[in-house]
Amino acid sequence: MFTASDSLKTNAIAALPGQSGARILEEMDIAYSDGLALDMAPLYERVKSVIPSVEWPFFAPYIKAINELKKEKNAVILAHNYQTPEIFHCVADVVGDSLQLAIEAVNAEGDMIVQCGVHFMAETSKLLNPQKTVLMPDMGAGCSLAESITANDVRALREAYPGVPIVTYVNTSAAVKAESDVCCTSSNAVKIVNSMGADRVLCIPDEYLAQNIAREADVEVIAWKGRCEVHELFTAEELQQYRQDDPGLKIIAHPECKPDVLDEADFSGSTSAMIKWVSDNQPDRVMMVTECSMSDNIAVENPQVNFVRPCNLCPHMKQITLPKILESMVLNRTEITVDEDVADKARAAVERMIALSQ
Ligand code: 13P
Ligand code: SF4
């Protein structure tokens, strides 16, 4: 079994480039065995409704190794609500929506943050923790919203709309945040927009989120043409069909969906607000109109609720896997860096958001 006293061995592993997760497990001498199965039986008992027994022998050694390494490296794993159950329930120290992860990043103890989510989330953690090592297990985990806008685009908007405050969704690069007045997430967007004290506010880059905010905010909202590639797939007609087939079904939707999709929903909110709604209301049957891992993750704590799963998965969130988390921690890769100039301005926009949300 790998223990903290094996750190020399870990350092030796760290010196070897191109290690795969399986090879690292071998070096650590961790394999699925009767002993390991027994050791981890209480954990499996908790997650067995969402992790098939055939998959557990593959996951269990990685979970063991990652949890040991967290202690040795004084690392904290921050995981978004869209991560798969074996990450969400078995290795994460903190789980949450984008706002919670940003706030937790400020409070994070330890020397290292391993971000299980997408690239902009790791950048936000780095902005708020410039002294810590922030690792991203797969740099390919991007976001269609973050890719929809550049810092140059924001500068052009500033010129086209002089004096109009720019509220930027956190699903953007640090360079875009740096050109903004303040950030927002889906859980605080209306509050932030209203707090600008202006008649008109630019709300970028998610077009549908901006349209949904405009319905609740007291000001005129100007949108950009960005879309979440997961949420834009849902249609009002599809939800009407689900309701027709099952009149008792509750439908809850994320505000990155089109406004007419939200019109069909019983509730809409950020991923954590959706989780809270299910936990508070305990519906008999519910459909989560969002990324598919959400239903799996919350089914564990809500065994009486039946989930109807329209499975739209986020290919970026799904880049993060247990083997990649292990590789990342052993090999210290890939470390997130943000140019100091950009970081100072982007941090100010994120910190202003956190202050306005509290
Ligand atoms: P929240 O978790 O803040 O609701 O964001 C959803 C999302 O799409 C993150 O990428
Ligand atoms: Fe981006 Fe949508 Fe994936 Fe979230 S779910 S990371 S908004 S593409």
According to the model, what pLDDT value does residue 107 have? 86
| Residues 234-256 pLDDT 10s | 999 999 999 999 999 999 999 99
Residue owning the nearest CA to atom 8 of ligand 2: 143
Q: What residue's CA is closest to ligand 1, atom 10?
A: 171
Confidence of residue 309 (pLDDT cuts 50, 70, 90): confident
Q: Decide whether any atom of ligand 2 lies within 6 Å of the 145 Cβ.
A: yes
Whether residue 100 has its Cβ less than 6 Å from ligand 2:
no
- In this predicted model, which residue has the larger pLDDT, 19 or 123? 123
Could you tell me which residues come within 8 angstroms of residue 258 by beta carbon, excluding any fewer than 6 positions away? 208, 211, 232, 234, 235, 236
User: Hey, what domains does the chain have and what are their CATH numbers?
Assistant: 7-143+317-331 (3.40.50.10800), 146-228 (3.40.50.10800), 231-308 (3.40.50.10800)
pLDDT for the residue numbered 349: 98
Pocket test for ligand 1, best of 100, 118, 171 (most atoms within 8 A of CB): 171
Across the chain, mean pLDDT equals 93
What integer pLDDT is reported at residue 9 of this predicted model? 40
Position 161 scores a pLDDT of 98
Res 19: pLDDT: 62
- Please work out whether the CB of residue 230 comes within 6 Å of at least one atom of ligand 2: yes
The residue whose CA has the least distance to atom 6 of ligand 2 is 143
Q: Is the CB of 118 under 6 A from ligand 2?
A: yes
Give the residue, 310 or 308, on which the prediction is more confident: 308
- The whole-model pTM stands at 0.93
Judge if the upstream peptide bond of residue 168 is cis by omega within 30 degrees of 0: no
From the CA of 314, give the closest atom in ligand 2: 3
Ligand 2 centroid to Cα of residue 229, in Å, is 7
Ligand nearest to the CA of 229: 2
Please tell me the predicted confidence (pLDDT) of residue 310. Answer: 81
- Percent of the chain exceeding pLDDT 70 equals 95
Q: Give the Å distance between the CA of 236 and the centre of ligand 2.
A: 20
pLDDT digits (tens, 9 = 90+) for 125-170: 999 999 999 999 999 999 999 999 999 999 999 999 999 999 999 9
Quick one: average pLDDT of 329-342? 95
Q: What residue's CA is closest to ligand 2, atom 2?
A: 228
Residue 226: nearest ligand to its CA? Answer: 2
Nearest in space to 102 (alpha carbons), one of 122, 119, 85, 118: 122
Give tens-digit pLDDT for 262-304: 999 999 999 999 999 999 999 999 999 999 999 999 999 999 9
Cβ of 179 less than 6 Å from ligand 2: no
Token code pair at residue 253: 């939707």
The pLDDT of residue 49 is above 60: yes
Q: Which residue's alpha carbon is nearest to atom 9 within ligand 1?
A: 98
In the reported structure, the alpha carbon of residue 183 is separated from the centroid of ligand 1 by a whole-number distance in angstroms of 14
Nearest ligand atom owner, CA of 99: 1
CB atoms within 10 A of CB 355: 9
